[in-house]
Chains A and B, each alone.
Chain A
Amino acid sequence: PHELHMILLFGSLNLLCTGCLLMWCSSTNSMALTAYTYLTIFDLFSLITCLISSWVTMKKPSQLYSFGFERLEVLAVFASTVLVQLGALFILKERCVYPPTAHIGRLLVGTFVALFFNLLTLLSVRNKPFAYVSEAASSSWLQEHVADLSRSLCGIIPGLSSVLLPRMNPFVLINMAGALSLCITYMLIEINNYNAVDTASAVAIALMTFGTMYPMSVYSGKVLLQTTPSHIIGQLDKLLREVSTLDGVLEVRNEHFWTVGFGSLAGSAHVRIRRDANEQLVLAHVTNRLLPLVSTLTVQIFKDDWTRPLLTGTLTASSSPSGAALTSAEGYPAVSSSSVPPLMMSLGRELDPLTSTPYKPSSPPPEFSFDTPGRNVQPVVLPNPGHNTHRPYGGLGLTYGASPYTGMLNQGLARPSSSLGLGIYLKICGTFSRRCSISRMTTP
């Protein structure tokens, strides 16, 4: 409510200010002031966006808008930046068509009133969506030039580096630059009566508006287009590579990842697995990998040729020496009714030749497999939780879920750790060789 009051207060102030400015615009006939007024109108839009974002936080996802209303924020940002750019386009067009002559009149007063109100609004209202976008979007040309200038200035006076070197807020920057160009216009018209300066300054303000707003509308437009944010791609690729080296996973395809609102990622992927892999276990591991990054995740597991009843089920069941393998048998009534504890991942390649999906011989050794220790506990054989088995399912859900794992932990650790050591060795090799290749690549 406090924030709401603030927003409403500033909104009404803004309306007042805009009305005044528009009046002065028509009295001075100055196009540059009009262009600057549009920035004030943009502030009004940003206040509306702020209002929307506070409304959005209260609103829960409905059945029709199943992702919630966070995108409304993005849409508001996009619409307001595009509207301001269209306004700037209109200014440019008006310039081409009717070049009027400007009078001084209230030009300077208007400039300072607008600058004051804009800065007041910018600095006192906490505008979450715009703050996010202005930080996440690539910097505008105005920002780049200011950064370049201030960098060379810091070369002369190093003391200023703490003030000048951090990234400037684009809105403050454009307000200052616009006010500066209006002041120059005023001076030149006052002193030398150069009326053409008004045109030049209007064009300059319009161009600066374009420059400032364009990166933001590109950023929010990309969110609206359901694209994978490019700064996430590296992280995502790493995770997907990890997923594809999970034991049993053949490939990951149809991966779609995109942002719902500003920040939260949603996505879906299809994971093709070996016929004898356990779907639920792979699903759990894939989800576990991706969930920290992608909050709304859907993973579809699929197998090739699953309809063809394979003899291998019984065959491998009898032939597998450890008895710990065998997963694909689960689906078939004949086998599943048998009390073979299915579950764990197959131990891998050595009992593979009978499965129908070909194993990729060229693939690198799995960087991650369930036999290597990670943050996850050792894989173990679980007692089959069949649907009719009675379970001591107590009040504390924690114990039930975790106990088999912790209980079996010792067993798992007791297993000879040869594979474990190998895994670590391979990992070290891999990282080492990659580093080598990188440094080779960079040294010219």
Chain B
Amino acid sequence: MDEKYSSNVLSGGKLGMVEVPDSRLTRYIVLLVISKVLKALGIFESYDILKAVHIVQFIFILKLGSAVILLFFQKPFSSGKVISKRQWIKLIKHAVFSCIISLLGFFGLTLCGPLRTLLLFEHSDVVVIALLGVLFTSSGGGPSKTRGAAFFIIAVICLLLFDNDDLMAKMAEHPEGHHDSALTHFLYTAIAFLGVADHKGGVVLLVASLCLKVGFHTASRKLSVEIGGAKRLYALDNLVSSLVLLPWVVVLSVTTESKVDSWSSLILPFGMIIFSVMILEFYVEAICNTKMETLRCARYGTIALFLSALLLANFWTHPLTDQLRSMSKPPQQVSTEHVLSGGVLVSAIFFIMSSSILSSPSKKGQKGTLVGYSPEGTPLYNFMGDALQHTSQSLPRFIKDSLKQILEEYDSRQIFYFLCLNLAFTFVELFYGVWTNSLGLISDGFHMLFDCSALVLGLFAALMTRWKATRIFSYGYGRVEILSGFINGLFLMVIAFFVFVESVTRLLDPPNIDTDMLTPVSVGGLLVNLVGICAFSHAHSHGSKSCSSNDHGHSHHGHSHSEHSHGGHGHSHGGGGMNANMRGVFLHVLADTLGSVGVIISTILIQQFGWLIADPICSLFIATLIFLSVIPLLKDACEVLLLRTPPEHEKDLNSALEKIEKIEGVLSYRDPHFWRHSASVIAGTIHLQIMSDVVEQRIIQQVTAILKDAGVNNLSVQVEKEAYFQHMSGLSTGFHEVLAMTQQMESMKYLKDGTCIM
């Protein structure tokens, strides 16, 4: 049923993967569910045991116990081929890694409690690989996988933020310095250094070790083939890792005294844990993976595990703990430990959803391009294209190339240097703000970072402008610059609007401002921005050399303030959309400068006279100035975008048109379109009617020359004679077209008559 609506053509038919119906697999599914429930039980019990037994001892006992059982079942030494020396070394490495991972996992268990550990750590490899694929590669596999990844992240965030675990109880339970060994102490200090509570640190630790585990499993696949099967590897691995842990355990048990009084009472729980967590789960997974698909196995297993974990968390009454604790600790804390909270419940639901989405087989096949339709009417796709065209570029090389491109041209170089300066200032500010814990500094840093986005936009536009023309961008990318100028103008308008609204609310209710930190910061910002203004206004004079003399009138009023801020840079920035991008960036820097100046002035006023109202008035003034200075930029960009005849060429074009009319043989012209495409391209099209005995090519040459003088450098001239209209009326079939054509021809006839008389 689901396939019917699937977008993939292949699986829509009979070509897709055929799933075995569930009914035939019921046995295996039941087995899987039982093993998962037992595993959840085992994890809950091991949490209790871990309170009394040291973690390294615990892992050692687990590994040793399972190694003994597996040696009995698998007989890795007596069967199979002989293991070489190199393979033994690999095996030892493998065992060390597996020890580390189980150490991290069980340490996370002590931090987070069994329920959260199960939710975070016990994801199947398939799910995690799908998740990573969505996050880090572009070909995720459709929106449903993206949704699954989003659910996973939301679930982790839920655990981090909304799960108010018994924080205080944990803090009381693990005061610093109470730790049993150097290892756990080190881990605790690492988590404390991160500045998060214990169980949140545990969440982070578990997520990290989950990724490690998946990577480890993937890497060990080759070794398992070399050794001769995953089961043999698992048996040997358990043996070797218990040998690796042995010295440590010996040292530990010699140096520290054990909290456990009777090891004999622990034999049964240990046996149960070894059976359920280490042995049964491994075998059942192996069987199910061969009988069912891995994906389905992962789906059922995860759901069963999480549900049973939720149930156990509700009903588990820590029987062992009470029994063990009664001798060592007062039992009042036990009841409040790792309770089931709303956040955990929500995140469990999200985890279940995400794992079922991520482990569902991806319906979306490859991305094909439609090439046509078969005779039966079914669409035909071509799956070749993308795989061949994707050539990955190494990152350093990419950075080097783009840097080289940026530094090639004047404009982008200026923007880049200024961006670097701005970013450096921002980060200094941010770090200093974090260091001194000053909120004002941090927020100002964020403002600066936000302003940098305009610079990045400008830089990108300046880079794009130089790209080669393509099929879609047939005139080249020059126009991007104008669009980026327009967007920057809109950006400034939005900024001005927000400053305006903010200052109006402050005018009504002037807040008390702490002025201590403001002055040095704003002076620093002012200096940085002044550098920028110098650079960019130089860029303008540089840029405006190329354009002919324009009227500079309209852009003066916006920049009168920059004249008094530093001597006389208030010249115009090229007229009529000349490099709108640089103008936008310049105005942005100017607005920042104005902001710093405003802050300095208002600080002085507040400090000297105590006029709290000075701050909102200053910002009102600044907002108006920004607004006024942006208007000419927006107007020019709009004109270019609306394909207006470029104002600075208007006169030339009119006289050129007059000249064209006077060319010998030209009867008339129609549809003259001239517009500025980008800073360097002025395009035009024109239709000419000429007498029948004139050579078209000569007329085209003359007209092109005349219009080139007027500034048009991308021209198409359509030269029409009377014959053209006759052909057209013959070719066109509709009555209206013919009527229109004949009307055009008629008008041409009259014109021609006029010229004939002349």
Contacts and interface: CB of A to CB of B under 8 A. Distances in A.
A145 B696 contact: no
A278 B143 CA distance: 56
Nearest to B749: A393
B716 A299 contact: yes
Interface stretch (A8-16, A61-69, A169-177, A355-363): A61-69
Given A148-B142, A155-B2, A301 B696 contact: yes
Given A270-B716, A284-B727, A438-B372, A256 B475 contact: yes
A378 to B, nearest CB: 10
B494 A298 contact: no
A102 to B, nearest CB: 15
Contacts of B727: 280-281, 283-285
Contacts of B3: 155
B722 A385 contact: yes
B504 to A, nearest CB: 12
Contacts of A400: 742
Contacts of A222: 472
Given A83-B490, A441-B382, A192 B342 contact: yes
A98 B440 CA distance: 10
Interface string B697-708: 110100000000
A230 B470 CA distance: 12
Contacts of A161: 5
Nearest to B145: A148
A279 B722 CA distance: 12
Interface in B713-758: 715-733, 735, 738-739, 741-743, 745-746, 749, 752, 756
B147 A279 contact: no
B472 A82 contact: no
B696 A279 contact: yes
B286 interface: no
A414 interface: no
B490 A444 contact: no
A269 interface: yes
A401 B446 contact: no
A93 interface: yes
Interface in B1-20: 1-7
Given A66-B672, A397-B746, A227 B472 contact: yes
Given A96-B446, A227-B473, A66 B490 contact: no
Contacts, number: 240
B181 interface: no
B100 interface: no
Contacts of A397: 729, 738-739, 742-743, 745-746
Contact of B716 (A83, A228, A300): A300
A398 interface: yes
Given A71-B642, A75-B642, A442 B745 contact: no
B431 interface: no
B371 A90 contact: no
Given A224-B483, A385-B726, A397-B743, A87 B473 contact: no
Interface of B: 1-7, 142-144, 146-147, 161-162, 342, 371-372, 374-375, 380-384, 442-443, 446-447, 450, 453, 471-475, 479-480, 483, 486-487, 490-491, 493-494, 498, 505, 638, 641-645, 650, 671-675, 677, 683, 685-687, 691-693, 695-698, 700, 715-733, 735, 738-739, 741-743, 745-746, 749, 752, 756
Interface of A: 26, 63-67, 69, 71-72, 75, 79, 82-83, 86-87, 89-90, 93, 96-98, 141, 144-145, 147-149, 151-152, 154-156, 158, 161, 165, 192, 194, 196, 221-222, 224-228, 230, 233, 254-258, 260, 268-270, 278-281, 283-285, 287-288, 296, 298-303, 306-307, 331-333, 336, 343, 375-377, 382, 385-387, 393, 397-398, 400-402, 404-405, 435, 438-439, 441-442, 444
7 contacts: A82-B490, A83-B493, A93-B447, A196-B161, A226-B474, A299-B718, A306-B697
Given A66-B672, A141-B146, 4 more contacts: A82-B490, A288-B731, A402-B729, A442-B380
